[in-house]
Amino acid sequence: MVAVCLNFQIHQPYRLRTDYNFFCIGRDHNYEDSKTNRDITRKVADRCYIPTNRMMLDLIRKHKGRFRISYSISGVCLEQLEKYAPEVIDSFKELVNTGCVEMLNETYYHSLAFNFSRQEFHDQVLAHQDKILRLFGVRPSTFRNTELIYSNDVALEAEKMGFTAILAEGANQILGWHSPNYMYQPDPCSSIGLLLRNYRLSDDIAFRFSDRNWEEWPLSSGKYAGWIHKIAGSGEVVNLFMDYETFGEHQDKDTGILDFFHKLPSEILRHPDFKFQTPLEVVSSLKPAAKLDVPYFISWADVERDLTAWTGNSLQDSAIQMAYSLEAAVKKSNDTNLIHAWRKLLTSDHFYYMCTKWFSDGDVHKYFNPYTSPYDAYVVYINVINDIKETLKQYEVLN
């Protein structure tokens, strides 16, 4: 049988105050735009999380456990949901309690820590693991790095940390003649299973669904299920990974996205050789089709599917260097509030806002972006970093 593996990313960063200027440094330690963070969390909760969770619960009950899904929810998103939309947390608990939902592990602060500090990476993964255990009563066995950033080294580190499965982008540059529709084993690993996102089928829903210029518009559940069914005989798993905000936020409910997805499981399950499984279930039931060597970093971002959404230009590289250079001093301070504030600055979105690439994916870059330009994002960020440096002076921990 062919497994359909659905994974949804759920993330909202703490956005900084756009008016945090040079004259705030040393005087004002209130960095975040609480109103914007609250308003966006409530908006997305009302438009996406609440109605979509209700739909997912209905589908699980309707199909009596045959419909199965997984979620990767960042720690900073969970914090904001606890504060501004606690009913969303309750609805996720209800989903987990069905036994048909797998919760995945990621970096707590949705950061690039693996690329810049392995110790911070470990700390964030363990913090996220503890958060998931505390809120939902489960300990994740599948790892999904921030924005599907992946390489051999990420897989090896995840295996050492005890994970059974890891997710990555099925990028053309790493697949070669391979298909994303199989389970693989990372080249340097001996036990962990690798699942690759089928980006074409995922993006048909996440990006193209409401595009009236798309040759396949309008997309029906039956047509899409037919594309899935064509994989029978040439694959063992179809990995559909996307932002949860696809439902009701990126794709407004008026596009018919919720009705489309509500009908989709029935259409897929019409074929007797298809089933739904979570990542852990897929890896536990399949043998690796081959070893897969990924010596360099890939991600699911933009058409390049590399790290240039967050690194590479002078603004991004300067901001990242300044932020991570404070790690030792911040941790020596033993000030839990300061450490938390610093770690929230490691969230990948801050560097995404500084991206200066010509925007082949411009609308994606602008999503909930509070800044009018990458330079504005950089100036605010550096002002906040410099205030943290000023605060650290009282602890006498700076070199």
Q: Which of 79, 106, 120, 147 is an active site residue?
A: 147
What pLDDT does 399 receive? 64
What pLDDT does 361 receive? 45
CATH 3.20.110.20 spans which residues of the chain? 2-292
DSSP type of residue 298: B
Those residues whose C-beta lies under 8 Å from the C-beta of residue 334, and which sit 6 or more positions away, are: none
What pLDDT does 360 receive? 42
Peptide bond into 218 cis (omega under 30): yes
Identify whether 147 is a catalytic site residue.
yes
Strands 183-186 and 193-197: antiparallel
What pLDDT does 366 receive? 56
Domain 2-292 listed as CATH 3.20.20.70: no
Start-to-end Cα distance in the chain: 59
DSSP type of residue 85: -
Distance set, CA 123 to CA 115, 131, 165, 251, 308 (Å): 14, 12, 19, 35, 25
Total-model pTM: 0.96
Q: Per residue of the chain (399 residues), give pLDDT as tens.
A: 999 999 999 999 999 999 999 999 999 999 999 999 999 999 999 999 999 999 999 999 999 999 999 999 999 999 999 999 999 999 999 999 999 999 999 999 999 999 999 999 999 999 999 999 999 999 999 999 999 999 999 999 999 999 999 999 999 999 988 999 999 999 999 999 999 999 999 999 999 999 999 999 999 999 999 999 999 999 999 999 999 999 999 999 999 999 999 999 999 999 999 999 999 999 999 999 999 999 999 999 888 899 999 999 999 999 999 999 999 999 999 999 999 999 999 999 999 999 987 544 444 445 578 999 999 999 999 999 999 999 999 887 666
Question: Residue 288: CA atoms inside 13 Å, Cβ hemisphere, count?
Answer: 17
The rounded distance, in Å, linking the Cα atoms of 320 and 315 is 9
Closest CA to 262 of 314, 301, 210, 224: 224
